[in-house]
Amino acid sequence: MAYFDAASAAPLHPVARQALLASLDDGWADPARLYREGRKARMLLDAAREAAAEAVGCRADEMVFTPSGTRAVHTGVAGALAGRRRTGRHLIVSAVEHSSVLHSAEVFEAAGGTVDRVAVGRGGAVDAAGYSAALRADTALAVLQSANHEVGTVQPVAEVAGICRAAGVPLLVDAAQSLGWGPVEGDWSLLTASAHKWGGPSGVGLLVVRKGVRFAAQGPVDERESGRAAGFENIPAIVAAVASLRAVRAGADQEAVRLRELTARIRTRVPELVPDVEVVGDARRRLPGIVTFSCLYVDGEALLHELDRAGFSVSSGSSCTSSTLTPSHVLRAMGVLSEGNVRVSLPMGVAEADVERFLDVLPGAVASVREKLGAPAPATRVRAAELVVDSLGKRCPIPVIELAKVIGEVPVGGTVRVLSDDEAARLDIPAWCEMRGQEYLGEEPAERGTAYLVRRLG
């Protein structure tokens, strides 16, 4: 089985396994106690904090360990907003942040705060000017990921950090996807990360709060981790997390070159091997191991199952999954095709032969899903130079399949009106037009659902 979902969780690094086992004997006691066992545990915890701080590029007393990366985000956002509540109740985030950030923003908004969500371009990156325009006198905090978790696009953190610093606004950077590859550049104020993204054990997060940043931890606190992460520290897991971070960093530059070549191969060859595919995300400013593409006329969940049967573990931001019938918020914000979406995120050390085998298997998997889906004959009626496709009650990608089958039945300049009550059509029909060289005219209210208008150009 080839595991291609490292952006969700990287396989446990051998060094992490060794460090975890070695520290179980000495790291089990309470590090707050003064007896011998407590002192041993404290030494392990202090050494791990020093090493982690060196890797991040901060002071050891600016870093705390949390029970997860998500908890680090929630604690960091809430604490920074509370610490600067006299400044105001305004938060800035990007439209493609991890759900942990967006959930924090929703809680803040529900409590009476205001949130600006900065848009991204089609490649998935924010324009730093968007953060500059969003800044206000009452802005308490800005948040920006270092790199996107779904499409791999690297964000202009250093530039945004400079803008925020000049305005006196702290910037929290979610570095979960990038920290294994190197420290985050720029004059940021807070940083979060998660160990299972770089091959450490799950259940360990990092939260860095620079000196001088106003911060008020929310909820019950205790004396541990500077009052910012309550509860007994999982010292063996922390030691293993930091050991794996140092290990992957040692070979990161060399491995990045190799993974960039492999992902570039996927980006180039997938559109050659599979018709009607859109490769998404910035082609240059991107993480080494992530490549994402979307396939027209394909159910994303069915494609993932087909690839799983062929021996490949991949993930998807597709709108067509059992857990959600709406497009991924990242793909929606980018305005790209969401149906049949596949994210390939290669772990460090992946075999080149596995990538080649994936490229051999993918065309057949896509073709199989398309064949199984079929394309139900659309119910149509001709109205002058306009064709109406009734796709009400049909889920993606059926509305797009029906549009594709009938576009040739109207003259050049004629229109097709697609009736759909599937939210994904709002994203997928314009994306199809972009890929197929047709003109998307917009949407109109219909008696049921929404009418999407497409003009045939050729």
Length of the chain in terms of residues written: 458
Residue 317 confidence (pLDDT): 74
Collapsing DSSP states into helix, strand and coil, what is residue 452? Answer: strand
Name every residue whose Cβ is closer than 8 Å to that of residue 343 and which is 6 or more positions away in sequence: 5, 7, 150, 151, 290, 291, 292, 314, 315, 316, 317
CA dihedral 285, 291, 297, 302 (to 10 degrees): -150
**Where does 304-401 show beta strands of DSSP type E?**
312-313, 341-345, 379-383, 386-390
CA distance 432 to 277: 10
Q: Does the active-site annotation cover 320?
A: yes
**Where does 215-260 show beta strands of DSSP type E?**
none
Per-residue pLDDT band at 102 (split at 50, 70, 90) = very high
pLDDT per residue as tens digits for the range 311-335: 999 998 754 444 444 678 999 999 9
Collapsing DSSP states into helix, strand and coil, what is residue 441? Answer: strand
> Does the pLDDT at position 300 exceed 90?
no
Catalytic residue among 58, 295, 320, 433: 320
Residue 378 confidence (pLDDT): 42
Highest mean pLDDT among 155-159, 328-332, 445-449: 155-159
CA dihedral 294, 295, 301, 307 (to 10 degrees): -100
Collapsing DSSP states into helix, strand and coil, what is residue 142? Answer: strand
pLDDT per residue as tens digits for the range 352-377: 999 999 999 999 999 999 988 873 33
CA distance 216 to 206: 17
Residues above pLDDT 70, as percent of the chain: 96
User: Is residue 276 a contact partner of residue 369, using CB atoms and an 8 Å limit?
Assistant: no
Q: What average pLDDT does the chain have?
A: 92
CA distance 32 to 393: 61
Residue 219 confidence (pLDDT): 86
pLDDT per residue as tens digits for the range 52-96: 999 999 999 999 999 999 999 999 999 999 999 999 999 999 999
CA distance 96 to 118: 9
pLDDT per residue as tens digits for the range 15-54: 999 999 999 998 999 998 999 999 999 999 999 999 999 9
| Cα–Cα nearest to 55, from 162, 195, 159, 153 | 195
Residue 386 confidence (pLDDT): 81
